[in-house]
Structure 1
Amino acid sequence: MSDVQLRTAPLRSGRWQLPLAVFALITPRHDNAALVLSSISVTIHEPRLFERRICLPPTHKHSCMEDTPNIPAVIGASPEDTVTRESLYEQAWSTPMTKIAERYGVSSSYLARVFTHLNIPRPAVGYWAKVAAGKRKATPPLPEVQPGALLAWSRNGAPEQISRTPPKSPAKIRTRSPDRMAVLPRRHPLLVDVEEYFKKAQETDEGYLRPSKRSMADLIVSRSGVNQAVDFANQLFLALMKKGLAVALSDPTTHMGRESVDHREVASNRYVHPAVWRPQRPTVVYVGTVVFGLSIYEISEYVHVKRPEKKYVRLTALPVSKRRSDYPDRWMMSADMPSSRLCLQVYSPYHSVEWIQRWTENKPGDLASKIPGIVTSLLAEAPILAGKVEIERIRSEQERQRHQLQMEEWRRKEDEKRRLKVIQDSRDRLETVIQTWAKVNSIQAFFEDIVQNAQRLETQERQAVLDRLAKAMELIGDLDALKHFEAWNPPKI
């Protein structure tokens, strides 16, 4: 995380109300928290500089801005950069939350959000008063960590710890006991304050929201459909949790795929501009070792529209006086507009494994009544999808082995080609040496014959011939054939 600090002018002494903006658990993989706005009072006894810290996680375009005074007592810091769920759980049931918050230098409301995101049960309001009166209640157990969920509270830029190993598929899915059911949150951690991101989201021309945050639950809705979609998603996720099934963002190291969303009610060949929002990672549910992808989107209807102020508006939403066509031939513009009806798309996130199923609303709000059937269907389809994944795994393994054999055969042929080329190159060089030797012998025989013939000449004439022969031999150069042979290397096979 990189921090950019901008300093303002010194503040005068006195008591100030300072807004504190805190993002809970903003991390590259699990950043489902929302902006918490509160107010703190700080008495300034002497002029101090205040700083604005802009936190920029490496994988996010948008992050938190935190206005905090440059005072150690307010900032607070703990030497622990990573605090495990187990440690926080033990502290929560042995020490009041305010004391724990003081230890880590955060507010109690911030710490409460940490507990919510880590799925750690904590004492209710008034618990410690009852303990002081001798009315201590049984401590609820710490829930098992869900696949893809955080294992610890990572502080001060420490690397986050994520559960990466899905649980083994049980022989039979059993309903949680009453004690375990009591620890289910009111809001699933993946959906905590998700509405805040939609409030600040931009809209497409048709009205679908595009939040700047991408590491969040897979919801594609209009502004009017946010509450309905989040409420349904929460009911579905909690129903799955009740069955012991974990819902989370996919582990980035597994490279799960996401099925594209076509929100049109009726399939069409009309081109759809890919302007709808898509998450950074799929939302998935773990049924044992089997993973299903989940997308919730608002169905669109192809209706007549007008476009005042660069946004499409349903013709039926306009006053009657403004519904007439603006064109001489009475042509009316049409667009795919959100219908307030939801669709749940469940799909296979495994590459090359095709499986998809959808549940749609006939009227707004009736999808929640289908949740029990959806959960039952997922439990029934898990073995089927697992079988398809296994078939694809076997096919991929066979393809890999076939490719490996082909590569080995190709490498063998290439090695043989290189071996033959080395032999041929060595043969060519040897033939060159032999040709050089033959040429050297021919030249030497020529010079020796001249010397023999020169012996029969007169002294003066013989000397002239030998002088010319010396110049010729100097011109030809070295005639040692052995040197040429020593320069040749036999092939290394």
Structure 2
Amino acid sequence: MITREALYQLVWNTTGRSVAAAFGVSESYLIRVCHKLEVPRPPRGYWQKFEVGRASEPPPLPPAGPVTEKCWSKSTRPQPPYVPPATKRRPPSKPAKQGEPKHPLIAAAERHFQRAGPGADGCYLKPRKKLVVDVTASRTGLAKCLGFADRLFRSLEGLGHRVVIAPSFALTRIALDPRQQPPPGSGRVWSPLRPTVVFVDGMPIGLAVAEVGETVAMQYAGHGNFITKEEFKRKKRFGATWERERPLPRGKLKLTAYSPLLGVPWTREWLETAGTPLDDGLETIAAAIESGALELLASLERAGR
């Protein structure tokens, strides 16, 4: 059993790795314990500054609130800090009401995507502006992708997590291609200049929304164009033709959350299935992103960054 006061002294007098090892738990577990007891922890880079005498003074231990846990033992599994029902904001699971303002990133990107033409791949839109939200969609799937991204961003910000375009090139976008097995020579899919990120307690998590390209049998229709077999039959085309499988956007969404920090890998994906839209899992997605931020924080501490 350890009190809040004793834990506070430990985490500010030795590294998180050492404290976790002393209790026989992982660093990520120790982070959850500190959150539960509302004990402040050293920021990233604190111990490097401490070694050269440049570390700032530790913040005082805040007074325990009426629902704050006063102590912890290893036999007690830590839970997230309690949030009173009156102040807890849950992610919205329904579309925005008529007239409700869209998230600023979506409102700014909408006009650029609407004026965009297809990119080198011939299917996905390629806006002229590169500093826009990370959404990859065809003309027919654009409204669905932007609508889901809008609801996701507002859900995360409702929980207190800011969603922005990465403020600098220090954060990088991982290689992403929404197409399944793109054929050689099919062209690269457009990607933004900087990643879209959500900051969870200061830790960035990259977010990318895409319309998945499913492999479809298509028919050559002349002039270098391929169309679906159904469209080919409907137009009753004649002449030399052949069949080829190509990835074609079909309106199914995929969300990728990832680490935008070089050398710190972490990725989670959610793929829409028939009868189960991604909107139905917004609360689960938000919880997984919050958990991922803790995992990244623990990885950085293990690496001494």
TM-score by length of 1: 0.40
- Aligned partner (choices 226, 233, 246) of residue 142 of structure 2: 226
Find the residue that maps to 2:246 and give its secondary structure: strand
The answer to whether 1:354 aligns with 2:262 is no
| Equivalence map 1:386-465=2 (5 Å) | 386-394=297-305
Find the residue that maps to 2:277 and give its secondary structure: coil
Find the residue that maps to 2:289 and give its secondary structure: helix
Asked if the contact 2:161–2:198 (Cα under 8 Å) also holds between the matched residues in 1, the reply is yes
> Judging changes above 3 Å, is the alpha-carbon distance between structure 1 residues 391 and 347 closer, same or farther for their aligned structure 2 residues?
same
> Mind listing any 5+ residue stretches in structure 2 that lack a counterpart?
1-79, 92-99
Asked if the contact 1:220–1:296 (Cα under 8 Å) also holds between the matched residues in 2, the reply is yes
Report the CA distance between 1:324 and its aligned residue: 7.9
- Aligned partner (choices 194, 207, 215) of residue 109 of structure 2: 194
Asked if the contact 2:206–2:258 (Cα under 8 Å) also holds between the matched residues in 1, the reply is yes
The answer to whether 1:247 aligns with 2:247 is no
Distance 2:212 2:139 in 1: 13
Distance 1:346 1:311 in 2: 34
Asked if the contact 2:207–2:257 (Cα under 8 Å) also holds between the matched residues in 1, the reply is yes
Report the CA distance between 1:335 and its aligned residue: 1.2
Instruction: Find the counterpart in structure 2 of residue 276 from structure 1.
Output: 189
> Judging changes above 3 Å, is the alpha-carbon distance between structure 1 residues 323 and 342 closer, same or farther for their aligned structure 2 residues?
farther
Letter in 1 for 2:160: G
- Aligned partner (choices 218, 236, 248) of residue 305 of structure 1: 218
Instruction: Find the counterpart in structure 1 of residue 232 from structure 2.
Output: 318
Report the CA distance between 1:381 and its aligned residue: 2.1
Q: Which runs of 4+ in 1 moved over 6 A?
A: none
Distance 1:363 1:245 in 2: 30
Moved more, 287-296 or 297-306: 297-306
| Equivalence map 1:98-177=2 (5 Å) | 172=81, 174=83, 177=87
Report the CA distance between 1:257 and its aligned residue: 0.8
> Judging changes above 3 Å, is the alpha-carbon distance between structure 1 residues 250 and 342 closer, same or farther for their aligned structure 2 residues?
same
Describe the superposition over 1:135-189 as per-residue Cα deviations: whole angstroms up to 9, x where unpaired: xxxxxxxxxxxxxxxxxxxxxxxxxxxxxxxxxxxx848578499x9xxx63111
Report the CA distance between 1:386 and its aligned residue: 1.1
Distance 1:297 1:380 in 2: 22
Report the CA distance between 1:389 and its aligned residue: 2.4
Instruction: Find the counterpart in structure 2 of residue 262 from structure 1.
Output: 177
Distance 2:275 2:109 in 1: 21
Asked if the contact 1:221–1:297 (Cα under 8 Å) also holds between the matched residues in 2, the reply is yes
Distance 2:193 2:136 in 1: 13
Letter in 2 for 1:286: F
What's the RMSD between the two structures over aligned residues? Answer: 3.0
Instruction: Find the counterpart in structure 1 of residue 6 from structure 2.
Output: none
Asked if the contact 1:348–1:356 (Cα under 8 Å) also holds between the matched residues in 2, the reply is yes
| Equivalence map 1:279-298=2 (5 Å) | 279-298=192-211
Report the CA distance between 1:191 and its aligned residue: 0.8
- Asked which structure has the greater RCO (Cα within 8 Å, sep 6+), the reply is 2
Find the residue that maps to 1:303 and give its secondary structure: strand
Distance 2:275 2:259 in 1: 26
Asked if the contact 1:173–1:244 (Cα under 8 Å) also holds between the matched residues in 2, the reply is no
> Judging changes above 3 Å, is the alpha-carbon distance between structure 1 residues 377 and 320 closer, same or farther for their aligned structure 2 residues?
same
Instruction: Find the counterpart in structure 2 of residue 236 from structure 1.
Output: 152
Asked if the contact 2:177–2:189 (Cα under 8 Å) also holds between the matched residues in 1, the reply is no
Distance 1:317 1:172 in 2: 56
Report the CA distance between 1:246 and its aligned residue: 0.5
Distance 2:212 2:269 in 1: 12
Letter in 2 for 1:190: L
Describe the superposition over 1:62-113 as per-residue Cα deviations: whole angstroms up to 9, x where unpaired: xxxxxxxxxxxxxxxxxxxxxxxxxxxxxxxxxxxxxxxxxxxxxxxxxxxx
Report the CA distance between 1:347 and its aligned residue: 0.5
Find the residue that maps to 2:253 and give its secondary structure: strand
> Mind listing any 5+ residue stretches in structure 1 that lack a counterpart?
1-170, 395-493
Find the residue that maps to 1:224 and give its secondary structure: coil
Describe the superposition over 1:180-222 as per-residue Cα deviations: whole angstroms up to 9, x where unpaired: x9xxx63111111532211211213441100001111000000
| Equivalence map 1:82-97=2 (5 Å) | none
- Total equivalences in the alignment: 215
